């Protein structure tokens, strides 16, 4: 029996972006600046910051970014510049540590868990 015929198609189905015929990897986006505002078109990307100085990554509200459900973005501090995440007014970022990367080559991720609520995880600076 072909199980894929019984499964839904779409983002997580057999013909979706993480299904059997879709890509299951992140697209690498390089960023050399020091102030980045995330946007819906970066959903599913792996962003590598290469700045030698501090980087601020802004997380806009749902109303201005139209975030798709289950958005996830990975970010690597490839340069010496520590990354600080700055949520817009009304945006909640849940984290057990700070909103900063730990050190060079740290990889963190943000996951949209509901409208204007994100979970931040990975190699973060300790409280």
> What integer best gives the mean pLDDT of the chain?
87
Mean pLDDT of 5-13: 49
How many domains are there within the chain? 1
Identify the weakest region by mean pLDDT among 49-58, 62-71, 84-93: 62-71
Q: Is residue 4 a part of any domain in this protein?
A: no
Residue 119 burial (CB count, 10 A):
15
What is the domain extent for residue 34? 25-122
Which CATH number is 32's domain given?
2.60.120
Mean pLDDT of 62-74: 94
* Beta carbons of 103 and 85 less than 8 angstroms apart: no
Percent of the chain with pLDDT over 70: 81
Indicate the pLDDT class of residue 21, thresholds 50, 70 and 90.
low
Alpha-carbon distance of 103 to 14, in angstroms, equals 38
Indicate the pLDDT class of residue 27, thresholds 50, 70 and 90.
confident
Q: Is residue 52 a part of any domain in this protein?
A: yes
Q: Is residue 46 a part of any domain in this protein?
A: yes
Q: What is the pTM of this model?
A: 0.81
For 69-122, the pLDDT digits (tens) are: 999 999 999 999 999 999 999 999 999 999 999 999 999 999 999 999 999 999
- Torsion over CA: 14, 114, 86, 83 (sign): negative
**Token pair 């109303």: residue:** 63
Q: Is residue 7 a part of any domain in this protein?
A: no
């Amino acid at each position: 029996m072909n199980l894929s015929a019984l499964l839904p198609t779409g983002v997580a189905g057999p013909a979706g972006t993480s299904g059997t015929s879709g890509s299951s990897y992140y697209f690498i986006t390089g960023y050399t600046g020091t102030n980045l505002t995330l946007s819906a078109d970066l959903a599913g990307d792996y962003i590598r910051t290469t700045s030698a100085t501090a980087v601020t990554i802004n997380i806009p509200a749902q109303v201005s970014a139209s975030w798709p459900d289950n958005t996830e973005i990975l970010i690597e501090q490839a340069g010496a510049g520590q990354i600080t995440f700055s949520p817009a007014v009304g945006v909640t970022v849940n984290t057990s540590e700070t909103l900063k990367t730990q050190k060079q080559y740290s990889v963190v991720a943000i996951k949209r868990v509901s409208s204007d609520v994100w979970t931040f995880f990975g190699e973060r600076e300790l409280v």
